[in-house]
Structure formats: C-alpha cells, structure tokens
C-alpha cells in the first residue's frame, strides 16, 4: 500500500496490511505473553495516532503472536521501577490514550481486537475500550490486578460496568477470576467467538481469529468513511455518559452538517440510484 504519511516502526509490534484500508497490528513479544512495557505503550500510541491520520486507512485490528493476546503490564519492568523509586505506587508510564494506546483512546477510526488467547489485566483493559471484540474459543479474560496488590487503573473499571453491568464487573475486578470466551460473549464483552480445536496450533488459532476480524474490518471499510466516523462518534457520546438528546444535538451540531457537505454522501446516493457499488473517497471530516 502507498501512504501519504510515514508509518511508525514499533519495536514491540508488527504492522501489516492484509486488505485495502485495513491495518493489522500484531503484538510481538510471545515469550513474554505480549505483555506491554513502556516502549510498547509509546509504540502503540504512535500506531493508533497514525491510523487516525493516514487517509488511506479506515479500520485497525489488534492481535497477539503466540498463545496470548496480551497478558497485561510488564511486571518485571514495573517491579524494577517500584524498587528503584521512592514511591511505592510507581508504575510504567502510559500515554494519555492509556494502556497500549487503546484503553483510554478516543480516536477517530474503529479498532477491532482479535483475541487469540490469554487476555489479562491491561489486555482486558484494552478490549473493554475497543470498538469490536472477536475472540477464539480458547481466549481467557481477567483483571487479576487484585492478586498482585495493584489496581486496574488504565480506564477499564468505570467502562466495564457500562458493558457488563455492576455485579459482573465487580466479580471480575474483585475476584480476578478467569472468564472464558463464551461466558464473555454472553456478558456482552465479546461480539463473536471463533471455535477452534483443542489440538490446533497457536498459529492456526491466531489465523482463524484474525480472519474473522478481517471480514468484519472489510465490511466496515466498504462503507462510507464519513458515515463510519460520524456513527462511531454518536456511539462514543453515549458511551461517555451523555444523555441521548444532548448527545444527538452535539452530534448534529458538530458532525452532521460536515457529513452532508462531503462527497461521500453524494456518491452513496448516486450509487444507489445507479444501482452500482459506491466509489468512496478518503474522509475529510
């Protein structure tokens, strides 16, 4: 693919482009179960910023290499920082966008999490704030921070309750227990579960869940880029706790006029009348 902006070169992840307009980010610390260190947070923040800024990209996918999606923070690094600091609460610095640049990210373009395996601590904090979550049937989710004397402070706690309800959120946060993919789907934490065999290799499992995520990403990328951005903004306003009428007014005042003045709405209507597939242009919103 050709880009108008220069892609970042993360040290802790691999960037690939499996389909037009789709960015695939693969966490690449399999021996460490893809736990994210300070460098990783900075890397991923830069990647998601680039996704938003690059006109040719419309959707991002995040997955992990090996048997884990992300096992959370690099506790060895955290322990070293705590030992070397006068403050017992010292932790690995994170960007304003949170853990992995995703747990508190607002952003403009959607990100899908393709959870291939273990999704613990910060891994779960990332998927809570993702737009869509697809998991293999082997995936396990947990907030085990209470078992290590720390707290999930990257944004998941107040967001989790909006997705799965108070009692289930309390159960995850206070017990730290593992939640399987099918249970997470019933709770509404996961959109789709991809069934895999017990003897399937880690590579096969990863390919299966990414393939399912890619189909969803391609469906999103095939829609009007303007409409996707504005629709996502509308959902985010409700997610952030703004009332329905106030959020609708804000969406209309901030985005709808720009949407109506853009080329994609004209192209979409023309394509409908002419019974053809729309030829979308990069969003200028």
- Does the residue 141 lie in any domain? yes
Q: How much is the pLDDT for 175?
A: 96
Q: How does the average pLDDT of the chain come out, rounded?
A: 91
CB 111 within 8 A of CB 61: yes
162 and 21 share a domain?
A: yes
Distance (Å, whole) CA 145 – CA 167: 18
Give the number of domains in the chain: 2
Q: How much is the pLDDT for 103?
A: 95
CB atoms under 10 Å from CB of 279, counted, come to: 11
Distance (Å, whole) CA 113 – CA 210: 9
Average pLDDT over residues 259-270: 90
Looking at per-residue confidence, does 130 or 4 come out higher?
130
Instruction: Report residue 243's pLDDT band, with 50, 70 and 90 as the boundaries.
Output: confident
Distance (Å, whole) CA 285 – CA 146: 42
51 and 185 share a domain?
A: yes
Per residue in 141-185, pLDDT (tens digit) is 999 999 988 888 888 999 999 999 999 999 999 999 999 999 999
Per residue in 22-62, pLDDT (tens digit) is 999 999 999 999 999 989 999 999 999 999 999 999 999 99
Distance (Å, whole) CA 68 – CA 74: 14
CB atoms under 10 Å from CB of 100, counted, come to: 33
HEC sequence for 177-216 = CCEEHHHHHHHCCCCEEECCCCCCCHHHHHHHHHHHHHHH
Give the side-chain half-sphere CA count within 13 A for 185: 15
pTM for this model (two decimals): 0.92
Whether residue 224 is predicted with pLDDT greater than 90 in this model: the reply is yes
239 and 128 share a domain?
A: no
Distance (Å, whole) CA 66 – CA 121: 18
90 and 193 share a domain?
A: yes
Burial code of 1-25, b = ≥16 C-beta within 10 A, e = fewer? eeeeeebbebebbebeeeeebbbbb
Average pLDDT over residues 214-239: 94
Length of the chain: 285
152 and 42 share a domain?
A: yes
207 and 69 share a domain?
A: yes
pLDDT over 70, % of the chain? 93
Q: How much is the pLDDT for 126?
A: 97
Q: How much is the pLDDT for 149?
A: 87
65 and 80 share a domain?
A: yes
Per residue in 14-24, pLDDT (tens digit) is 999 999 999 99
- Does the residue 133 lie in any domain? yes
Residues noted as catalytic? 73, 122, 125, 145
Per residue in 61-116, pLDDT (tens digit) is 999 999 999 998 876 666 566 555 554 445 667 899 999 999 999 999 999 999 99
- Does the residue 45 lie in any domain? yes
Burial (0-12, 13-18, 19+ Cβ within 10 Å), 167:
exposed
Domain of residue 230 covers 225-274
62 and 200 share a domain?
A: yes
Q: How much is the pLDDT for 129?
A: 96
């Amino acid at each position: 693919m050709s880009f108008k902006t220069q892609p970042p070169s993360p040290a802790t992840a691999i960037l690939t482009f499996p389909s037009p307009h789709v960015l695939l980010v693969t966490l690449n610390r399999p021996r460490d179960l893809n736990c994210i260190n300070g460098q990783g947070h900075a890397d991923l923040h830069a990647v998601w910023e680039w996704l938003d800024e690059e006109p040719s990209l419309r959707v991002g996918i995040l997955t992990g290499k090996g048997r884990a999606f992300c096992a959370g923070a690099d506790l060895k690094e955290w322990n070293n920082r705590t030992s070397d600091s006068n403050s017992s609460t010292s932790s690995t610095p994170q960007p304003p966008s949170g853990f992995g640049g995703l747990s508190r990210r607002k952003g403009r373009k959607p990100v899908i999490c393709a959870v291939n395996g273990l999704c613990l601590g910060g891994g779960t904090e990332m998927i809570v704030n993702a737009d869509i979550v697809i998991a293999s049937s082997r995936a396990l989710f947990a907030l085990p921070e209470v078992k290590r004397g720390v707290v999930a402070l990257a944004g998941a706690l107040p967001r989790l309750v909006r997705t799965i309800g108070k009692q289930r959120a309390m159960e995850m946060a206070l017990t730290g227990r593992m939640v399987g993919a099918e249970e997470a789907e019933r709770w509404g934490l996961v959109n789709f579960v991809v069934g895999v065999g017990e003897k399937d290799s880690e590579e096969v499992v990863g390919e299966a869940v990414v393939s399912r995520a890619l189909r969803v990403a391609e469906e999103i990328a095939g829609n009007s880029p303007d409409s996707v951005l504005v629709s996502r903004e509308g959902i985010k306003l409700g997610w952030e706790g703004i009332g329905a009428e106030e959020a609708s007014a804000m969406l209309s005042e901030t985005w709808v006029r720009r949407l109506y003045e853009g080329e994609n709405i004209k192209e979409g209507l023309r394509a409908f009348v002419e019974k053809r597939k729309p030829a979308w242009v990069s969003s200028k919103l």
